[in-house]
Structure 1
Amino acid sequence: MRQTLGQLLRRTTVGVLALAAMWTPCGAAAAAPVAPAPEADSLAFGERYRTLQHGNIVRAANSSHTCRAQASTCRDVQAGAPGVNGGFDMGYIDVDKDPNTYNSSRAEVRLPAGSRVTYARLYWGGNLLVGEQKPAADNERVLIAEPGGDYKELLADTVVGHRVADGADAFQASADVTRLVRDSVPGLYTVAQLNVAGGRSAAGAWGGWTLVVAYENPAEPLRHLSVWDGFQPLGAREGVAVALRDMPYAAGAGGRVGLVAYNGDRGTTGDSLTLATGDGPSAAFGDGANPLDDVLNSTVSDPAGAPARVPAYANTLGYDSDVFDLGTGLPRAGDRATVRLTSQRDAAWAGVLFAAVDARR
């Protein structure tokens, strides 16, 4: 049985110290008290993880909100019909049957047989100001349960992005969970107690989480794996760009590119994810779930077939965690590329970009 949040909070100090010992690279003889994570209203994107290995990057993700069932169009929107968070009184997704949590959702980490996790990081975020105002002090905390496991309190281990703009009070936090994921069996992870607000406002209620996992597997191609994160508002001029340098690849190299973003509205066009190689022109990503000019359309999608989610709403109403097949995005050999995410009309925030590119031998 999962521990309730009440049980966890009654032994917060013990739990935090135990997690610090389990997840830090080197165990210390005595754990120091955990200080609150610092905040910044804008975090430039930087490379969080990089390696060259046989393997790939996968991710599990889900949203924290949905429309309330009383709305006549809610079921259709959940099934994928057009609809935006600002058009609904938004409630919380809560699947764990624990009376001490007010939001929880599940998603699957799907790894090929014979894989070993080399890096895993959980990202979570949302809007604190809707029909209520949530305290920013709780941004750095979340609960996570591995498949078949109990909830564990997780604290952000790096600067938390937190910005008030466009009628929203937005944040993203993250923490390294490599040991937890490496030592766990395959299946559904549950993430709960994201510090997000419900209700209705012009800015809308939105939030969610993504668990990014890099793995090695000798049966897979040699690939450059890279994870970038930050916290920045998107716009036509201030889009987010990350440069993939010193990563030699052959002409026609395969791979995948992924993103995490907040408050993208389905049907609001003008947002795109592009890839440029060397001095060549940019190629835009898109697929059946994500139009070329509306990639921030409230979806959790994967070209290989989406891993399981509970619930698996087709329209997340403000949370995007998408993976795209590289396809022919690398028509020429090279060693550098630029991935860019922009939005001309959505009041959206970018949180994560990642790439896995076949390496040139």
Structure 2
Amino acid sequence: RRQKFLKRAGGLYWSGGGRAKASGTTVKVRPPGAKRYVKVKATDVIDRTMPAGSGYQAFAEVTRLMGDDPEGTWWVADARLREGVSRHAGWSLVVAATDPRRPYSQVVVLDTATVVDGRHDGLRIPLAGLTPAAVPARIDLVTWEGDPGLDGERVTLGGGPLRPEGGRREADNVFDGSANGAEGWKNTFGLDIDTYRSVLGEHPVLRISTGKDVVLFGVAMVGVHARS
């Protein structure tokens, strides 16, 4: 039986190599059941400087395109990029929905668009606003420009390295160019969409670090099933 949700919100993120002004801030979107693409313009765009050039992340709310049933295949076209070596382009749909079976659960979406490399201490994201502690958590991460041949990347949540549920499932090479929901995870061209599961501590902090690789970290979505 299809599960019904009371409320939902959807955000579309896309990224590519090059500056946003030169690459464009619109994409074409075709939701499930639609026959034509519609243009979607970004409401938030961030440019970042990376070793091999620049990169950007764009965001637009697409809740209105989801309709009564957002399940199915979504198509996004023309996420533009600057051509060249070590370039990427991709998109991710982030959806948060209420679940009437778990009325006290919580979810938070953090979009940082931060460059993470081995020369610095990595990215630190406090999650103290999610309560209570000692409950299972699901973490979904969107990261751009991951390379499967460069290891040393880790995701932790107060303990040892977390292992992604998809891709190569290596705890020491989490950004391997694999994406949940893609038609063949090896063909995502620098896009990583990974799911992790852990248990929140008393003062949880999500940490993302790399060794050899340089990535543009985009979005973290963390949900907990609070006790009812």
CA contact (8 A) 2:20 2:47 kept: no
**Residue deviations 1:310-352, cap 9 Å, x none?**
x3343423110111122xx33x5x3x41111111211211111
CA contact (8 A) 1:221 1:358 kept: no
* Residue pairs, 1:10-49, within 5 angstroms: none
Alignment identity in percent? 27
**Residue deviations 1:224-246, cap 9 Å, x none?**
10000021110242422211123
Measured at CA, do residues 185 and 124 of structure 1 come closer, stay the same or move farther in structure 2, by a change above 3 Å? closer
TM superposition score normalised by structure 2: 0.87
User: What amino acid is aligned across from residue 161 of structure 2 in structure 1?
Assistant: A
CA contact (8 A) 2:23 2:81 kept: no
**Which residue of the partner structure matches residue 207 of structure 2?**
340
CA contact (8 A) 1:261 1:351 kept: yes
Higher helix share goes to which structure?
1
Measured at CA, do residues 185 and 230 of structure 1 come closer, stay the same or move farther in structure 2, by a change above 3 Å? closer
| Cα-Cα RMSD | 2.3
In the aligned structure 1, how far is the partner of 2:38 from the partner of 2:172? 39
CA contact (8 A) 1:274 1:341 kept: yes
* Residue pairs, 1:166-205, within 5 angstroms: 166-198=51-83, 200-201=84-85, 204-205=86-87
**Which residue of the partner structure matches residue 146 of structure 2?**
264
1:352 aligns with 2:219: yes
- Alignment match of 2:192 (pick from 316, 320, 333): 320
User: What amino acid is aligned across from residue 312 of structure 1 in structure 2?
Assistant: G
**Which residue of the partner structure matches residue 154 of structure 1?**
40
CA contact (8 A) 1:262 1:348 kept: yes
Where in structure 1 are there 5+ consecutive unaligned residues? 1-111, 129-133, 277-281, 302-306
Task: Classify the secondary structure of the residue corresponding to 1:346.
Answer: coil
Measured at CA, do residues 176 and 138 of structure 1 come closer, stay the same or move farther in structure 2, by a change above 3 Å? same
Measured at CA, do residues 232 and 219 of structure 1 come closer, stay the same or move farther in structure 2, by a change above 3 Å? same
TM superposition score normalised by structure 1: 0.57
What number of residue pairs does the alignment pair up? 224
Where in structure 2 are there 5+ consecutive unaligned residues? none
1:120 aligns with 2:5: no
Task: Classify the secondary structure of the residue corresponding to 1:341.
Answer: strand
- Alignment match of 2:124 (pick from 226, 233, 241): 241
CA contact (8 A) 2:102 2:225 kept: no
In the aligned structure 2, how far is the partner of 1:137 from the partner of 1:293? 35
User: What amino acid is aligned across from residue 41 of structure 2 in structure 1?
Assistant: L
